Amino acid sequence: MDKFLSPNHRKRIKRLESLWGNLTDLSNMAKEYGIEDMLQDNGLKVMQQLIYLNMDLLPGREGNDSISPSGTEWEMKSINILLTQGFSTNHHTNHDIIAKYRKVPWSFAIYEDITLKEIYVMKPCQLEPMFKHWEEQLANGKPHLNNPKIPVKFVRNNGTRVFPYNKEHPIDPDSINLS
């Protein structure tokens, strides 16, 4: 560790200040999407997904995450595949949460560190094997499940990839049929 305000310490401060200046522009853009603090709750990743998916943020921490141009509400999940292989859900998944999950389509963003690699979308019916598995676990007397995961492999095998865009036939996430 360098001495306080040594030449190397000052060099790191100068680099930080230079890079941080660009964050102001990003922060202002995030606010346009309803994200008040881009460094909280994956704010920048959420904004990036909203832009690529052509959606708007639904305010608040309860309920669904985004809304598409058709007025369809969506559940959004993201993962850093370098850290884990399963998308988090809810720390208190119960029958009511599962019922809510069955009503909306889902988007799944796969990152490597901070680099967005893929986005998949899934209809609720495509997630039914997960929902049934969770209900089976709840039937064994548990009041709730602690954050059951949706495996990346399951999403890749059953979802529709919408990003990176297919240059010849891009898929609008809003075009998926909910049934």
Catalytic residues: 65, 75, 77
Computed on alpha carbons and rounded to an integer, the radius of gyration of the chain in Å comes to 19
Cα–Cα distance, 112 to 125 (Å, whole number): 28
Q: Are strands 73-80 and 106-112 parallel, antiparallel or unpaired?
A: parallel
Query: In angstroms, what CA-CA distances link 159 with 16, 37, 137?
Result: 40, 30, 24
Q: Are strands 86-87 and 150-151 parallel, antiparallel or unpaired?
A: antiparallel
**CB neighbours (10 Å) of residue 9?**
13
Cα–Cα distance, 45 to 39 (Å, whole number): 10
Helices (H), the chain: 7-32, 43-53, 95-101, 128-139, 152-158
